[in-house]
């Protein structure tokens, strides 16, 4: 995923995995991929020249359980010491000039931290301004027998990934970075959704096309998720459509709207990918039966 940008910037991109690390481990693949993706894209983004590397080192084992240290290292711009504690906060960027030069939303590391907490791990960083950075975490995981495919965990005759692909979904999210993460997750699940950047766009798209599932951010400019859902529910064919609200804070107002049926359910951001995947799978299964 990162080779083309690295090549464009003439960066070396390397990976090293200790030979004692098993080829298959049991963990949440989606979360681990997302974490490594976030760290690697930052490393490539914030490194004007030199090298980016991914290392997985063995930190011992007990029976089938391996302790591994993952690290993403770069020779980039580094992070000033007084900023190192805040980079994991939502919307923080080490330097306001970073935004102008490198773009970004300041959410990636906050999400990464949260993801790793879900796996019982903690992200750490060592960095020197002008020299480079090393983001690392340890993970304990058992050796796996063989890769578990989605189909193996689904009851026979239920939705298969190819049928899931067919769900007509709409992703409504104003924040480009959040949209990107959701899009990445969806594409990892072999799905592709139409997109809208605010509530009004969502209503306009729903007028033109019958969606079976809408993932709807709540706080958005132009028209928020509440108004958008109300207007969409009034459109023909949308009375029972699954509308999943995505929000960072679960207020009483949102709970009330789930009870009233405006939203089918709520997922708290940063949501748990596996839970969301399970729900989308169920909705796709139901929609495809109809």
Q: Is 42 in the site for ligand ADP (CB under 6 A)?
A: yes
Nearest CA among 108, 209, 218 for reference residue 168: 209
The reply on whether position 46 binds ligand ADP by CB under 6 A is yes
Residues 92-111 that bind ligand ADP (CB under 6 A): 93-95, 98, 104-110
Rule CB under 6 A: is residue 77 a binding residue for ligand ADP?
yes
Q: How far is the CB of 82 from ligand ADP (least distance, A)?
A: 12
Q: Enumerate the H helices of the chain as residue ranges.
A: 3-8, 29-45, 96-102, 108-118, 150-153, 161-164, 176-188, 199-208, 225-233, 252-259, 273-289
- 289 burial type by CB count under 10 A (0-12 exposed, 13-18 middle, 19+ buried): exposed
User: d(Cα 242, Cα 185) in Å, to the nearest integer?
Assistant: 19
Task: Give the nearer residue to ligand ADP in terms of CB position, either 60 or 80.
Answer: 80
Q: How far is CA 17 from CA 12, 23, 115, 123, in A?
A: 17, 10, 22, 19
Q: Which stretch binds ligand ADP (CB under 6 A): 19-27, 87-95, 160-168, 189-197?
A: 87-95
The nearer residue to ligand ADP, 22 or 104, going by C-beta atoms, is 104
Q: Which of the ranges 27-35, 70-78, 196-204, 255-263 carries the binding residues for ligand ADP, by CB under 6 A?
A: 70-78
- Nearest distance from residue 102's CB to ligand ADP, in Å? 7
45, 151, 251, 253 from 41: Cα distances, Å = 6, 30, 33, 37
- The nearer residue to ligand ADP, 46 or 271, going by C-beta atoms, is 46
- Token reading at 21: 């690390």
Of the pair 50, 144, the CB lying nearest ligand ADP is at: 50
Among 70, 74, 241, 284, binds ligand ADP (CB under 6 A): 74
Give every CB contact of residue 169 below 8 A, 6+ residues apart in sequence.
186, 191, 193, 194, 211, 212, 213, 214, 215, 280
Looking at residues 152 to 181 of the shown chain, list those that interact with ligand ADP (rule: CB under 6 A). Answer: 177
- Per CB under 6 A, 13 contacts ligand ADP: no
Instruction: Work out whether 35 is an interface residue with ligand ADP (CB under 6 A).
Output: no
Cα separation, 142 vs 26, in Å, equals 5
Smallest distance, Å, CB 29 to ligand ADP?
21
Residue 125 phi/psi, 5° resolution?
Answer: -145, 140
| Closest separation in Å from C-beta 135 to ligand ADP | 7
- DSSP 8-class letter at 77: S
Pick from 13, 35, 40, 76: which binds ligand ADP (CB under 6 A)? 76
Helix (H, G, I), strand (E, B) or coil at 208: helix
**Would you say 77 or 185 has its CB closer to ligand ADP?**
77
Nearer to ligand ADP, 36 or 109 (CB): 109
| Cis geometry, peptide bond prior to residue 37 (ω within 30 degrees of 0) | no
Query: Which positions lie near ligand ADP, rule CB under 6 A?
Result: 42-43, 46, 74, 76-79, 87, 93-95, 98, 104-110, 133, 177
């Amino acid at each position: 995923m990162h080779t083309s940008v690295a090549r464009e910037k003439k960066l070396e991109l390397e990976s090293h995995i200790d030979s004692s690390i098993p080829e298959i481990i049991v963990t949440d693949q989606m979360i681990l991929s997302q974490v490594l993706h976030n760290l690697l894209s930052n490393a490539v983004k914030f490194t004007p020249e030199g090298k980016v590397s991914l290392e997985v080192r063995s930190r011992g084992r007990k029976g089938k359980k391996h302790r591994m240290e993952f690290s993403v290292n770069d020779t980039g711009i580094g992070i000033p010491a007084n900023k190192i504690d805040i980079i994991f906060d939502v919307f923080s960027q080490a330097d306001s000039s970073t935004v102008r030069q490198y773009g970004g939303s300041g959410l990636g590391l906050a999400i990464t931290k949260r993801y790793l907490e879900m796996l019982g791990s903690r992200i750490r960083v060592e960095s020197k301004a002008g020299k480079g950075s090393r983001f690392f975490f340890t993970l304990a995981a058992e050796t796996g027998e063989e890769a578990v495919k989605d189909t193996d965990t689904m009851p026979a005759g239920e939705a298969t990934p190819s049928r899931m692909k067919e769900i007509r979904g709409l992703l409504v999210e104003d924040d480009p970075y959040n949209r990107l993460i959701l899009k990445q997750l969806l594409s990892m699940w072999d799905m592709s959704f139409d997109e809208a950047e605010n509530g009004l766009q969502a209503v306009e798209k729903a007028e033109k096309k019958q969606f079976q599932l809408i993932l709807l951010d709540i706080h958005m400019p132009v028209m928020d998720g509440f108004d958008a859902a109300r207007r969409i529910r009034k459109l023909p064919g949308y009375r029972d459509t699954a509308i999943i609200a995505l929000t960072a804070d679960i207020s009483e107002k949102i709970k009330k709207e789930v009870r009233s049926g405006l939203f089918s359910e709520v997922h708290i951001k940063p949501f748990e990918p596996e839970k969301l995947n399970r729900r989308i799978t169920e909705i796709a299964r139901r929609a495809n039966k109809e």
